[in-house]
Amino acid sequence: MYNPNSPALEEQTPSHVPMSDDDFIQLGTGEVAYLRPIGPHELGTLFPQVPAISGHVLLYALFNADGTPMMLADTKDALMANAFENELQMVSTH
């Protein structure tokens, strides 16, 4: 319904402020983390300081919200405990 007392459309303050790509990437960094299983073939890329592992080993990695690898473990529980100690909010990814 038209209200003659409301400001003109161009004078209204937007209800949202667009985020820059850099701001969006930093959203949740240092506060939010996720974990996912990784195979030995990903170690060289994600954790170059870790020696190569052969075979069918399943490892788990903890990632910062921006995708930066933070920690490597052989159990989910170890990563979740580390996230809890560092006051990181764990999120589920699909």
Q: Is the pLDDT of residue 26 over 80?
A: no
Confidence (pLDDT) at 35:
92
41 vs 59: CA distance, rounded Å: 11
pLDDT tens per residue, range 7-23: 665 565 666 667 566 66
Q: What is the pLDDT of residues 42-88, one digit of tens each?
A: 988 999 999 888 888 889 999 988 888 999 999 999 999 988 898 88
User: What's residue 10's pLDDT?
Assistant: 57
| Percent of the chain at pLDDT exceeding 90 | 31
Predicted TM-score (pTM) of the model is 0.67
Strands annotated E in 51-93: 59-64, 69-73, 89-90
